[in-house]
Amino acid sequence: MNNLLRQEKLSAQTENKHLMFGSRINLCHIASGTVLSSKVSELKSRTSSQLKSPCDMSASLMTNPCPRNVFQICSADGEILKKPLCYGQKFVLKTLPGPGGELSLWSDRATFTKCAAKSRLPVVQLHDDSSYNVVWQFHCRNPLIRMEMEGNPVVVGDTIILNHCKTNQNLACMSQYQRRTPYGQEMEVCCKTFLDSHKAETEENLWTIVVNKPE
């Protein structure tokens, strides 16, 4: 458990605040103030020093950067890119080497046996996988200018939507569904798009990217 909670460094914010391939980030759910985190059972937290596939996910109020909540933005085709990530550009979110296990954020359509525990919606997990199930893209929050924003760099601190490419559903934090973990009370996450009467995503789907800001 100590390995999974050890302090990690996020990437430094660039001068123009553009999100870069290779960046180490936290993904923060705006409405709840939680961060996307791996969820490890009490038994595994005592016996394992590294995340193992498959690993469930949750949204945690424990926001200090550590192996269970820091992700690296990687190219979907395995290339090492040193350039900004743009809206609509496909990528993979991986945990860090070592305690993080270099696992990829994964989802798929819900089935009777594979779904989120309480909401029964499509599950989000970490997997040792390289299929299309681990490919994601960022969307602009405003649906009226979403198409125009494609190809523009993602800006750190902006409100964003994390879209799963295979299912075309969005990462969601379900604050009404909570479960006690070795790290405290945490919220369920799933992959489901929630829209209001104006066909805009609601607060369940709204996230922001956190990096290390300059002092």
Please name which of 140, 164, 163 lies closest in space to residue 152, comparing C-alpha atoms.
140
Residue holding tokens 């985190």? Answer: 37
Residue holding tokens 């002092």? Answer: 215
Say if residue 51 is exposed, middle or buried (CB neighbours under 10 Å; 0-12, 13-18, 19+): buried
**Gap between the Cα atoms of 164 and 40, Å rounded:** 23
Residue holding tokens 């799933």? Answer: 190
DSSP alpha helices (H): ranges in 69-181?
146-149
The residues near 11 (Cβ < 8 Å, ≥ 6 apart) are: 20, 22, 23, 24, 25, 211, 212
Tokens standing for residue 159 = 């409100």
Secondary structure class of 28 (helix, strand, coil): strand
In this prediction the pTM is: 0.93
- Check: CB of residue 71 under 8 Å from CB of residue 5: no
Tell me the pLDDT of the chain (215 aa) as tens digits.
Answer: 567 888 999 999 998 999 999 999 999 999 999 999 998 764 455 556 789 999 999 999 999 999 999 999 999 987 767 899 999 999 999 999 999 999 999 999 998 888 898 999 999 999 999 999 999 999 999 999 999 999 999 999 999 999 999 999 999 999 999 988 888 899 999 999 999 999 999 999 999 999 997 76
Longest dimension (CA), the chain: 49
